Amino acid sequence: MAMLCTLSIFLSLLVPAHTTRSPDCGGILTPSGLRYLAEVSKPHAESVLRHDFMAPPAPDPSPISPSRNQIISVKVDKFSLTLIPDTGMRLSIEVDLGTTSAPSTTKEMRLSILADLHVDMNPEGNLELVTSDCKPTLEEVQSTEGVTEDSKSSGSDVDKQINVEKICLEVSKLLLFPNERLISLAAPFPITPSCQVQYLPLAAPMYSEQGIIISLQTTFQVAGTAIPLPVSPVPFSMPEPVSSSPSHLILAFSEHFYTSLFSALEESGALNVSLLSSLTTATLAERITQMGSLFQEDLPVVLQAVTRSSPHVALEEDKAIVKLFLTAQIGAGSSLFQSFLSVNVDVTARLHFSIADTRMIISVAAVEDIELSLAASDVGPVLAALLEELFLPTVREEVPAQINVVLRQGVFLPHIASFTYTNVNITIHKDYVLIPCNLQLEAKTGEASTRE
């Protein structure tokens, strides 16, 4: 990646002045991404135009009017999308039309469409593609007829068969991301059975030389209800490459996004875990003498851990850390759990990120620090050194394993339907994670790219 400069000014402009909402993630669709969208839209556009120009007039309305000329072939020769800074996009299409008025007479016409497009936000808060200007032109490029008055008027004849007004009205449908796909960007995605994530656009995108910039705010739902999240101490600023990027898309996620994610998991109860120890009540009684009178039989010792305060994620260069604050009730009992110790457990662990298709896979990779402190005891005082000797191995092994089970399905990234992400390069910076990637249409699987 090229050297990065801040985009905080752009993002602050994206946030409406009347609201306190602020972005915690966003993305830049680069000129390379626009070229890819044009590439995959070209066959789609040809199919749509062929259907419109060559379809019979009944029973549905058609852009073909009854005429002695008939369009017999449609081929999209050029299809391009270019960025217009501060304005939007320009769609340029050149279509070769083959026409005939008799078995021995053919004409080749060239339909050129030049349209200015931009993405706006409708009153419902959804993004939609809008056509601000459209100029279609039609000209004859080749004919098997001699130059006659009839041939001079052939362009007019074919023009009658083409509903120019309809072409301009529906020109956005020639692209593969019409409004239905844009609406899918804000759809809720599952994280766990009871927890969902949703990315809401804060305003219409902005257009710079580096690409189309969109600002998103994440909301999390638990059991269908949006939950309050920690307030970000500082507005999110995401990076913008100072030179053109070869990637189609650059996604960025703030430190606040990851803290909010773990807070939502905490609220849903997903971080409350049961840890099975290798100890039993009999072996524990050898170290804690008052244990002997509590249990008549030898039972496995279990740590039932629940969160006592919200987790926190810290992002530094090439490093992501999560801090979990748990309280473990240590006890035994198959049918009726009996706790004899309550221990505060603070875990600091490295996070590992990878991407599969349109999901970010987050896992606890390595525990860096564990602090155990006695909160309550039914078996008398227990020294901190003994607590660590007895329970630290279980916490070190089982907490990451159990949290990874919760996170194994991954977190869906902002995306539109039918597109997935490839050639992903994840970089962790101070306060944000940057994910340059390429788009791929209807990919069935995606290779995971990783960065620890």
pLDDT tens per residue across span 326-349: 999 999 987 788 999 999 999 999
Q: Tell me, what's the pLDDT at 176?
A: 81
Confidence of residue 12 (pLDDT cuts 50, 70, 90): very low
Which DSSP category does 49 fall into? Answer: H
More confident residue, 145 or 149: 145
Look at residue 350 and tell me whether its pLDDT is greater than 50. yes
pLDDT tens per residue across span 89-146: 999 999 998 888 766 678 888 999 999 999 999 888 889 999 999 999 888 886 655 5
User: Rounded mean pLDDT of the chain?
Assistant: 84
Q: How many CB atoms lie within 10 A of CB 105?
A: 15
Q: How far apart are CA 129 and CA 175, in angstroms?
A: 10
Query: CB–CB of 388/396 below 8 Å?
Result: no
Q: Tell me, what's the pLDDT at 291?
A: 85
More confident residue, 169 or 192: 192
Look at residue 60 and tell me whether its pLDDT is greater than 80. no
Q: Tell me, what's the pLDDT at 185?
A: 87
pLDDT tens per residue across span 30-53: 999 999 999 999 999 999 888 888
pLDDT tens per residue across span 273-309: 999 999 999 999 999 988 888 888 899 999 999 999 9
Chain centroid to CA 244: how far?
22
Q: What is the mean pLDDT of residues 398-421?
A: 94
Look at residue 325 and tell me whether its pLDDT is greater than 60. yes
Tokens of 120: 């706006």
Query: CB–CB of 116/90 below 8 Å?
Result: yes
Amino acid at 438: N
Q: How far apart are CA 389 and CA 230, in angstroms?
A: 35
Which range among 64-68, 176-180, 231-235 has the greatest average pLDDT?
176-180
Q: Tell me, what's the pLDDT at 415?
A: 92
Chain centroid to CA 375: how far?
41
Confidence of residue 417 (pLDDT cuts 50, 70, 90): confident
Report the candidate in 85, 60, 22, 439 with the shortest Cα–Cα distance to residue 240. 85
CA 282, 286, 291, 294 dihedral sign is positive
Look at residue 5 and tell me whether its pLDDT is greater than 70. no
* CA dist 139 → 31, 47, 148, 153 (Å): 30, 21, 16, 11
pTM for the full predicted model: 0.84
Q: How far apart are CA 283 and CA 279, in angstroms?
A: 6
Q: How far apart are CA 329 and CA 215, in angstroms?
A: 43
Q: How far apart are CA 120 and CA 196, in angstroms?
A: 26
Q: Tell me, what's the pLDDT at 34?
A: 94
Look at residue 446 and tell me whether its pLDDT is greater than 60. no
More confident residue, 428 or 170: 428
pLDDT tens per residue across span 185-234: 889 999 999 999 999 998 899 999 889 999 999 999 998 899 887 777 67
* CA dist 205 → 11, 28, 208, 358, 435 (Å): 10, 9, 10, 21, 19
